[in-house]
Amino acid sequence: MSVQHDPVQRADFDQVMVPNYAPAAFVPVRGQGSRVWDQSGRELIDFAGGIAVNVLGHCHPALVSALTEQANTMWHISNVFTNEPALRLAHKLVDATFADRVFFCNSGAEANEAAFKLARRVAFDKFGEDKCEIIAATNSFHGRTLFTVSVGGQPKYSDGFGPKIQGISHVPYNDLDALKAAISDKTCAVVLEPIQGEGGVLPADQAYLEGARKLCDEHNALLVFDEVQTGMGRSGELFAYMHYGVTPDILSSAKSLGGGFPIGAMLTTTELAKHLAVGTHGTTYGGNPLACAVGEAVIDVINTPAVLAGVKAKHQQFTSRLQAIGEKYGVFSEVRGLGLLLGCVLSDAWKGKAKAVLDAAAVEGVMVLQASPDVVRFAPSLVVEDADINEGLDRFERAVAKLVQG
């Protein structure tokens, strides 16, 4: 029962799409596990994971089954009613984390938008309107809505769209003295990614997150962890805060949470959640049964000792091979990251050329990402098979060798 579609090609993108993206020259049409096929039938190994989203690869049987079962049951009902998949997923997130309460939405930006609004509302209710300042890190990324680009520390994403949200300041990441100098009793929240993802796969220092927690407590400010990229097993723990043993007040999740189905979530405590009373915030699709049914299947598979231990083992496989490639060809100065969120920092000679590396990799049949122009990023499926890791890294090495040979 397959529908006959009109033929389309990559060239159509330039005709009918807003030109805010620059997609690759080929069009992927099908995926299975960590392999993807394009329109011409060419097969690629996927270490990009749809930008840290396809946490269980493509068409994982548990997710396909959860989605199709829910598709035959109920798609959408709105928040005028609650629904079973949303309640089940919320229970699972609460049981597995510091949080007591969950707000569902559709993306990482929306999860952060909710987190920032909650932080401001808590401060407003408890301390008055002066306590509204948010401190975030330079080079951070929190999404593309106006509030989230204002909090994100990258002017290239926030400039040129009119007045930004006020009351936000930025400090250098991993610089506790800078945070100490910036925080005050007017600060309502400190917002950090436990590993800066888009900014270059830069993990926080242990002492930095511990110090940030202490400073927040001293100033009645909330600590917000943006775990949109680091969460849902990516770090080898369910959330990266567990790796550090530093607990936030509010946590945002998205990307891997849906394994490819759009969903976001903001997690917090009962005490804080009560400040978002009826009518203060919402979204039509938040807690959509399809999204939550898939999210539930994702957490069921991921939050198991076997999968999380597998992430740590696969981390070793990737890093030892990537370090060897880096040394052999002189392309990387460092391989960093946690679990299966890895960044290969380009050496001085290759600085700024991450895009060239990922284009060369795609030609050899392996999809990788960049994180800034100076870092090649890997965010594969957490259950990527050893054979795919080896074959994918062979292809990646061939791409690097060709680049180096010019």
Ligand X SMILES: *Cc1c(COP(=O)(O)O)cnc(C)c1O
- Positions touching ligand X (CB under 6 A) are 107-109, 112, 141-143, 193, 197-198, 226, 228-229, 254-255
Specify the residue, 315 or 377, whose C-beta has the smaller distance to ligand X: 377
Query: According to the annotation, is 227 in a ligand binding site?
Result: yes
> Which residues face 169 on adjacent strands?
135
Minimum Å gap between C-beta 379 and ligand X is 10
Lookup: tokens for 123: 């401060």
> Which residues face 84 on adjacent strands?
none
Specify the residue, 152 or 365, whose C-beta has the smaller distance to ligand X: 152
Specify the residue, 193 or 364, whose C-beta has the smaller distance to ligand X: 193
Question: Which amino acid, one-letter code, is at 256?
Answer: S
Query: According to the annotation, is 97 in a ligand binding site?
Result: no
Lookup: tokens for 217: 């407590």
Residue of closest CB approach to ligand X:
108
Minimum Å gap between C-beta 292 and ligand X is 16
Helix (H) or strand (E) holding 36: strand 35-38
Helix (H) or strand (E) holding 386: helix 386-405
For residue 286, give the DSSP letter.
T
Residue 80 burial by Cβ neighbours in a 10 Å radius (0-12, 13-18, 19+): exposed
Query: According to the annotation, is 283 in a ligand binding site?
Result: yes
Specify the residue, 35 or 170, whose C-beta has the smaller distance to ligand X: 170
What number of other Cβ atoms are within 10 A of residue 72's Cβ? Answer: 8
Query: According to the annotation, is 108 in a ligand binding site?
Result: yes
Residues with Cβ within 8 Å of 398's Cβ and at least 6 positions away in sequence, in order, are 364
Angle at alpha carbon of residue 142, lines to 138 and 146, rounded to 5°: 100
Minimum Å gap between C-beta 266 and ligand X is 12
Minimum Å gap between C-beta 224 and ligand X is 11
Specify the residue, 314 or 377, whose C-beta has the smaller distance to ligand X: 377
Minimum Å gap between C-beta 72 and ligand X is 27
- Provide the annotated binding site for N(2)-acetyl-L-ornithine: 144, 283
Which positions make up the binding site for pyridoxal 5'-phosphate?
108-109, 141, 226-229, 284
